[in-house]
Structure 1
Amino acid sequence: MAWNEPGGGDKQNKKDDDNQWGSKKGKNEGPPELDELFSKLAEKLKGVMGGGGESQSSDFSVKHLAVPLILLTCIYIAAGFFVVKPPERAVITKFGKYEEQVGQGLHWIPLFIKDKAIVNAEAIRSTRRSGLMLTKDINLVSVIIEVQYRVKDVRQYLFNVRNPSLALDEASDSALRQVIGHSKFDYIISVGKEDIAKKIENQIQETLDGYKAGIKVTTLALKEAIYPKDVESSFDDVTKAKEEREQLKHDAEAYANKVIPEAYGLSEKIKELAEAYKEETILNAEGQTLRFKQVLPEYLKAPEITRKRIYLATMQKVLSNTSKVLIDVPGGNNLMYLPLDKLMESNRVSEDESTQQQAKSSNNYNQVQVSTADDLERSRRDRRRR
């Protein structure tokens, strides 16, 4: 008869009971099986609930209860396993209280007693903030920044701040308005972008460290810093006017750098030509004076003869430079000899000398232009004194 079948007397029942509870086993018997343990547990539960005796229905229900319990136990154990990847960190809590941190690998925790929170500590996250703000010189500027950050301390990141992303956004807005409010508009939109971005980054990091948020700001970029769209045309006009002013200023400086040296050089050249002209004029005047002084004693001795000789010499000099010949004059000869070859040669020589003299005079006039009122007045005074 099987141990779970009814009947068989008290002795058989007692033997069966001893076998079921495992209190009187032989030396060669092994440990109780799992079905036997669950059966004993069911017997105890039935005794507590006021049931007595054994029946075929109760043994059948105990066998069917063991299988679900085994499955639930396996599921419970399997559900406690989790894997932490290389760049991640897992925070273990026991009834909501921090217990420890674990790194990469396979780990197990008892469910409903302990819990886990896995955070990627190496991932670079980013957020973007923007807005219209007043500058130090009371101008509106539209600014956009992009903040890149990572988790510095997993425990602080999870427990010290309720919403780390929101805390970072609020710290970014605060730092952005503070730095922009202490900077001038022209500096913000031109040469000061890198400096302003660095100041904003330092201010954000200082705020986050004060809250112990466990966040490290890696980079901050000032993506845009421009005037508002509503006044874009006016600012474009101002910017264009400034650029034109700078261009004209540079052109004027370049022109001055070119003209001033040329003017200095031309002035020195004019001075040299004026000095040469002065020396030439003085020497000519002294030569004429010397000739006059040489002729004066002879003129005083024989005025008529000297006057006639000077006249003839002058006429010879004048007529030697002309090609005109007067014929058929009163008192003239009917037969005249015309030395055409000499006249033509003399004419060519005279024309060449005249051309050179005109060119020299024109060149001196164009280059020098030294006929000033002071020089003329000084010349008149010298003549009067003589």
Structure 2
Amino acid sequence: MAWNEPGDNGQRNPWGKKSPGGGKAPNLDQLLKNVRNRLGRLGGGSGGIVTIVLALLIAWMLLSSYTIINTSQNGVVLRLGQYSRTLGPGFHFKLPAPIETVSKVETTRVRAMVDQVRMLTSDENIIAVNFNVQYQVSDARKYLFSTNDPDDTLKQAAEAAVRSVVGAHSMDDILTSPGEDVVAAAVPAGAASSIAKPAPAPVASKASGDQDRVTLQQQTREALQRTLDGYDAGLVVTDVSFQNVSPPDEVKAAFDDVNAAREDKQSAVNKAYAYANQVIPQATGEASRILAKAAGDKAERVARATGDAERFNLLLTEYKAAPAVTRQRLWLETMEEVMARNTKVVDGSDGRNIINLPGAAPSAPVSAGVSVTGDANGQEKQP
């Protein structure tokens, strides 16, 4: 017969054992009553109560007499509410609570704080700065007991540091990119004196030198750390960064117009410098060419004059030695030079015999009775 068929098999179970109490389900009220009876017998006398108290006391002492500190934590032990010691990572014994309590503080976790402040710059312009501060707990005891709310203290100190550092500079110092002030570096050093540079704008005048954003962040971090050290807050600042530095929305349109005008000005200045860099080398090269040509002409003229003077001195010496011969030779050389540049006709026979000498074609009519012939190659022709 199957175990779940009707009949007397209700006292059986699938494993062949009889269910306690027959076919009836256990009574919950009866179970609770049995437990109360047993507890009543245990604490029925003074010895039973003492046993319960001692058991609870021992369990409480065992559970509250040690603590485990994680590797990223430090534990600050308070004995009756007063600082006792600081525990490092690991397993530690202590007096049971409430005699000694342990407050665990995360010391290796990098915490972050993000905030925005509006302030006036040194030139009385409104600017909004979104900044981020990352910090860690350097001393768990100071972190817990030096200030009421160390995180809020850091927030207030960070805002004060940002105001003191950023507010000491003008808006142009804060918002102008570092590359705008190095345009003049593109001008050649030798040509710098010959270029008319524009008058320096207020952007270029800085009381303490150019300050880029990285320097401002570094100054803010140092100022914030000095403040926290003065408060003895037990915090160390690892980084300060400016997420966004811009004018407020109320004046953003006007600032954009000013920024666009500054960019147009910078573009015009860059074009002027580019034109100067193109024209100045050409002018410099032309001047060098003229100077070189002048020097060459000077050397040529000096050499020619020196040679003429030497030649004249030689002729003078020859003339003093034989004046008549020298005069004749000079006359012949002069006539040779003159006749070499003109058409030459020699007639020694009353027109019957014509000797044609090399020369150019006549440029004017020849008188009657005289024939002048010649070709371009200077060859003689017979009539």
Report deviation, 1:87: 2.2
CA distance in 2 between partners of 1:132 and 1:154 (Å): 33
- Cα deviations across residues 324-378 of structure 1 (Å, max 9, x unaligned)? xxxxxxxxxxxxxxxxxxxxxx9xxxxxxxxxxxxxxxxxxxxxxxxxxxxxxxx
Taking every aligned residue pair, what percent have the same amino acid on both sides?
28
Task: Determine which of 39, 62, 76 is the counterpart of 2:46.
Answer: 62
Task: Determine which of 239, 248, 271 is the counterpart of 1:251.
Answer: 271
Report deviation, 1:247: 2.0
CA distance in 2 between partners of 1:59 and 1:71 (Å): 13
Residues matched between the structures, number: 234
- Matched residue, 1:94: 79
Gaps of 5+ in 1: 1-55, 280-289, 296-311, 318-345, 347-386
**Alignment root-mean-square deviation, CA:** 3.6
Task: Determine which of 111, 124, 147 is the counterpart of 1:161.
Answer: 147
Give the SS at the match of 1:136.
coil
Report deviation, 1:269: 7.5
- Whether the 8 Å CA contact 1:201–1:217 is kept in 2: the answer is yes
- Cα deviations across residues 232-282 of structure 1 (Å, max 9, x unaligned)? 222222222222222222222222332344356567889979xx9xx9xxx
Q: Does 1:112 align with 2:98?
A: yes
- Matched residue, 1:377: none
- Matched residue, 1:129: 115
The structure carrying a bigger helix percent of its residues is 1
- Whether the 8 Å CA contact 1:140–1:227 is kept in 2: the answer is yes
Report deviation, 1:105: 2.2
5 Å matches for 1:1-386? Answer: 60-80=44-64, 81-107=66-92, 108-189=94-175, 190-191=177-178, 192-263=212-283, 314=363
Q: Would the alpha carbon gap of residues 63 and 250 (structure 1) be closer, same or farther in structure 2, given more than 3 Å must change?
A: same
CA distance in 2 between partners of 1:194 and 1:130 (Å): 18
Give the SS at the match of 2:276.
helix
Gaps of 5+ in 2: 1-39, 179-211, 302-336, 343-360, 367-375, 377-383
CA distance in 2 between partners of 1:266 and 1:59 (Å): 120
Give the SS at the match of 1:60.
coil
- Whether the 8 Å CA contact 2:43–2:49 is kept in 1: the answer is no
- Cα deviations across residues 65-89 of structure 1 (Å, max 9, x unaligned)? 2453244123312330321112211
- Cα deviations across residues 39-89 of structure 1 (Å, max 9, x unaligned)? xxxxxxxxxxxxxxxxx9998333542453244123312330321112211
- Whether the 8 Å CA contact 1:79–1:111 is kept in 2: the answer is no
CA distance in 1 between partners of 2:147 and 2:43 (Å): 56
Give the SS at the match of 2:233.
coil
CA distance in 2 between partners of 1:269 and 1:65 (Å): 120
CA distance in 1 between partners of 2:115 and 2:74 (Å): 29
- Cα deviations across residues 179-222 of structure 1 (Å, max 9, x unaligned)? 12211111112342111111111111111111111111111112
Q: Would the alpha carbon gap of residues 210 and 59 (structure 1) be closer, same or farther in structure 2, given more than 3 Å must change?
A: closer
- Whether the 8 Å CA contact 2:42–2:48 is kept in 1: the answer is no
Q: Identify the structure with bigger relative contact order (alpha carbons < 8 Å, sequence gap 6+).
A: 2
CA distance in 2 between partners of 1:85 and 1:234 (Å): 55
Q: Would the alpha carbon gap of residues 99 and 59 (structure 1) be closer, same or farther in structure 2, given more than 3 Å must change?
A: closer
| TM-score normalised by length of structure 1 | 0.53
CA distance in 1 between partners of 2:213 and 2:255 (Å): 19
One-letter identity of the residue aligned with 1:102: L
